[in-house]
Copies of this chain bind each other. A is one copy, B any other.
Amino acid sequence: MSYQEEMRIKTIRHGDIHDITDQVSAIVARSGVKTGMVNVFNIGSTAAIGTIEFEPGLQMDISEILDQLIPPGTHYRHEQSWHDGNGHSHLQATIMGPSLTVPIMEGKLVLGTWQQIFHLECDNKPHSRRIIVTVQ
């Protein structure tokens, strides 16, 4: 009934953004599911999953607007305990959310032409990120 795969991506810095649409599409194809939905979930509390028009301008705009709304700083209570400089990373990722659910129609992801699935690194250091893709 449910088909699941783990995919990994390497991120190098805060604001690093990846288009993971093709990898999710390939998993949907391997699942054999024709009508249903797929959940894409980032393991960890400092990265986000969502949809965006994946063009070079917006790839930078999304992280910049998050940094403007939730700037780096030592005033977060998280910083006062942990001193790892990523209080804003946690808050950005929590507000964006770690997951996305997309419908599947005729065996394919349903997305707009200018709508891609992205992974956004909000942390201030590189990560090897595990993303769980579950198809039903």
Chain A: interface residue count, which band?
35 or more
CB-contacts of A10-26 with B (<8 A): none
If A57-B87, A98-B115, A110-B132 touch, does A41 touch B78 (CB 8 Å cutoff)? no
Is B99's CB under 8 angstroms from A43's CB?
no
Chain A residues within 8 Å of B, Cβ to Cβ: 1-4, 35-37, 39, 41, 43-45, 50-53, 55-58, 60-62, 64-65, 69-70, 76-82, 87, 90-91, 94-105, 110-112, 114-115, 132, 134, 136
With A1-B1, A61-B78 as given contacts, are A100 and B97 in contact (CB-CB < 8 Å)? yes
Q: Which residue on B lies nearest to A59, using beta carbons?
A: B77
